[in-house]
Amino acid sequence: MDATTQASGGQSPWQGDQAPCVYCGQVIPRSEERCPQCKTSFSLAVRRASREVMGDWFYLDSRNPSGRGVTFETLIKMIEKGRIRPDSVVRGPTTHQDWLYAAEAPRLAKYLGMCPHCFAEAKPEDTYCTRCQLNMNTLPAEPRPGVPPDLVKEPVHRAAHEMEKQLAQATTAAPAPTAAVSMPPAFAPRPEAVVSVAPSETPKPGPAMRGEVAAAAAAAVAEAPAAATERRSRVAAARRGKPQLWLILVLTWIPLLLAAVVVWFVAPGLRDSIRGAFGVGPGADGGGTAKTGDEWVNRQLADARAAADARDYARAIQIYDAIIDKTGDKVTWEPRKQALLAQKAQEERKEHLAKLKERLEMAESMAADQKFDDALAVLRNIGQDDRTWLASLGVAVDKMERTIREDQVRAARARQQEEKLLADLGRAAAAKTAAQLADALKLYKQIAGTYPAEIVQKHLNVDQVIRDLETQLAAAKPPAPTPPTPPTPPPSAGMTPEQAAAAVADILGQAAAREKAEDFKEVIRLLESIKEKFEQKYWPDTLETRIRQVKAKKEALEFFGMEGPKKPPPKAGP
């Protein structure tokens, strides 16, 4: 007897009435509808839901310690519902599948509102902790780029952090061998027996196989004439007589009548279908209920419709199978069963598509909030079959992943640039506070010429700051002294009052003569010379008034084209 069979009954355990629970692995009777250990139902809806949320994250459940993994977005929903708390025990890709408290799990802890290293307050959209400056998505954690070492804080559990660093260095220094498990020579598989376990499509014939098929086809064609060429018989065949019509009719109708009698009495369901097709008997009214006269069938059909309306398709299909087994009428009930199966497949397809749409929307929302690692984790849980299906509907998941990675790189560069900008702004502000206005002005001008204006404007108006500093520097610089201009003494300073009065009278006389000759330009020059050469005490009281009058006359003559002095009349001849 085989070693795997039981000694008592000679029956293998997998052939018995007990089997492991599909959720927790405990051996239970196959007839159970709910596991008595983990209390999980075996209904179709629960089984389907458990497979749709499968992933690479695990949470420790006392009822089901060996439960299957879930997706990252499922953990986020469990946090929102309060089922995952900081003291819950979880493991996943960021913990290297080590069991940790949820508060210590990278990438997950920030959804609980804390940093996994120093347990300070954190937000889901943050990548680095604002207190310890460590990356909250990786283990071991790297510090924020560009941050001085004195600002990086040590994690609370320093020993565990150092162990993770040593493990990472050991993994990098000594890569794992290509063979994951070494086998003894006796159990090592033969080279020709090693096959790939990866899923693949139906294999296509290779060149060698195609050559063999072509050779076999050529051989078959070559043998065909020989097989078809037979020696004809030398004995002439007897001539067949013309068949009698009455004999043909008798031989045709007698079997048909016998078959109709058998169907009429043996298969009542088929009989009712035939009668309904001609408008008489059960089913002739076109309704959904077959009026066979059997109340049991009608009750079963009502139960099947109720189950279908409640989307319990497994129950409805089971009812149709019972009807077919009891009535033996597959012609009537099998099409309805197949239609129900098609409806079930369509509903499942719609539900699955709705779940995929929810995942894609969640990934887009996370990417919009700059939670790029979380968005990629959500997309990574979409299998290849679902990706192919979505691609046929015009949704390229691979392209979406590439776009998110590109946005992540751009966001990281922008974040580094902004961190450097903040450091430069800090130095410029320190110089301004220390009254080093020239150095501060130089730093602000460098900032304006180095960084994009839209990034700088988020923090301050650098153009206004530069103008203010230039104004302050100009106000603080004393003006250059100008030498005093010595006063210019008037020409009449060396004259006596009588001499000055006589000189003014002489100029007034010359102006009067030129005014008679209508040389107003010269008159104005002479009157203005009095103001330039003599002090005001020697001016006539009407000097300003006379100057204005002469200017008015000059402008009037110029308007009429009569400007200029009068010419003397020509002298008469002798």
The reply to whether 286 and 313 lie within a common domain is no
The reply to whether 461 and 512 lie within a common domain is no
> Residues 35, 47: contact at Cβ < 8 Å?
no
The reply to whether 351 and 418 lie within a common domain is no
What span, in angstroms and rounded, lies between the C-alpha atoms of 152 and 134? 7
Highest mean pLDDT among 116-130, 204-218, 263-277, 370-384: 116-130
> Residues 510, 523: contact at Cβ < 8 Å?
no
Residue 16 has what pLDDT? 84
- Report the chain's C-alpha Rg in angstroms: 54
The reply to whether 417 and 363 lie within a common domain is no
Strand, helix or coil for residue 121: strand
Alpha-helix residue ranges (DSSP H) falling in 188-329 = 207-228, 245-266, 268-277, 295-309, 313-327
Q: Strands 54-59 and 27-29: what pairing?
A: unpaired
What span, in angstroms and rounded, lies between the C-alpha atoms of 112 and 133? 18
pLDDT of residue 246 exceeding 90, the answer is no
The reply to whether 81 and 127 lie within a common domain is yes
Average pLDDT for residues 350-373, to the nearest whole number? 89
Q: Is residue 239 part of a domain?
A: no
Q: Where a domain ends, among 293, 321, 352?
A: 293
Percentage of residues in the chain with pLDDT exceeding 90? Answer: 15
Residue 558 has what pLDDT? 76
pLDDT of residue 311 exceeding 90, the answer is no
Residue 103: pLDDT band with limits 50, 70, 90: very high
Residue 486: pLDDT band with limits 50, 70, 90: low
Boundaries of domain holding 77: 53-170
Residue 137 has what pLDDT? 93
Return the H-helix or E-strand segment holding 29: strand 27-29
Range from 2-16, 294-308, 399-413, 501-515 carrying the lowest mean pLDDT: 2-16
Q: Is residue 390 part of a domain?
A: yes
Residue 206: pLDDT band with limits 50, 70, 90: very low
Highest mean pLDDT among 200-209, 482-491, 496-505: 496-505
Residue 109 has what pLDDT? 95
Residue 86: pLDDT band with limits 50, 70, 90: very high
The reply to whether 273 and 369 lie within a common domain is no
Q: What CA–CA distances, in Å, run from 114 to 4, 60, 412?
A: 52, 20, 22
Residue 573 CB: number of other CB atoms within 10 A? 4
Euclidean distance between the first and final Cα of the chain, in Å? 177
Q: Where a domain ends, among 170, 190, 216?
A: 170
Which residue carries 């063979």 as its tokens?
Answer: 179
Q: Is residue 216 part of a domain?
A: no
Which residue carries 């003006």 as its tokens?
Answer: 479
Which residue carries 């304006």 as its tokens?
Answer: 448
397 or 206, which is more confident? Answer: 397
The reply to whether 457 and 380 lie within a common domain is no
Range from 111-125, 170-184, 409-423, 490-504 carrying the lowest mean pLDDT: 170-184
- Number of helices (H) and strands (E) in the chain: give both, helices first: 18, 6
pLDDT digits (tens, 9 = 90+) for 398-440: 999 999 999 999 888 888 888 898 898 888 889 888 888 888 8
The reply to whether 443 and 383 lie within a common domain is no
Residue 213: pLDDT band with limits 50, 70, 90: very low
Q: Is residue 566 part of a domain?
A: no
Q: Where a domain ends, among 264, 293, 322?
A: 293
Phi-psi region of 39 (alpha: psi -120 to 50; beta: other; left: phi over 0): left
Count the domains in the chain.
5
Residue 289 has what pLDDT? 44
- Which of 386, 387, 358, 363 lies closest to 374, judged by CA? 363
Q: How many angstroms from the chain centroid is the CA of residue 203?
A: 36
Highest mean pLDDT among 183-192, 441-450, 471-480, 548-557: 441-450
Strand, helix or coil for residue 57: strand
Residue 489: pLDDT band with limits 50, 70, 90: low
Q: What CA–CA distances, in Å, run from 383 to 52, 98, 134, 246, 389?
A: 11, 25, 32, 69, 10
122 or 8, which is more confident? Answer: 122
pTM above 0.85, yes or no: no
Spell 528-544 as b/e; 16+ CB within 10 A means b. Answer: eebeebbeeebeeeebe
Residue 42 has what pLDDT? 86
Average pLDDT for residues 302-312, to the nearest whole number? 88
Q: Is residue 225 part of a domain?
A: no
Mean pLDDT of the chain: 77
Average pLDDT for residues 257-280, to the nearest whole number? 62
Q: Is residue 203 part of a domain?
A: no
The reply to whether 299 and 366 lie within a common domain is yes
Q: Is residue 188 part of a domain?
A: no
Residue 210 has what pLDDT? 41
Residue 242 has what pLDDT? 58
200 or 332, which is more confident? Answer: 332
Which residues are within 8 A (CB) of 40 and not within 5 positions of it... i.e. 6 or more apart? Answer: 21, 23, 24, 34, 46, 50, 64
Q: Is residue 47 part of a domain?
A: no
The reply to whether 285 and 304 lie within a common domain is no
The reply to whether 506 and 546 lie within a common domain is yes
- Which of 535, 467, 526, 525 lies closest to 501, judged by CA? 535
The reply to whether 349 and 452 lie within a common domain is no
pLDDT digits (tens, 9 = 90+) for 113-146: 999 999 999 999 999 999 999 999 999 999 998 8
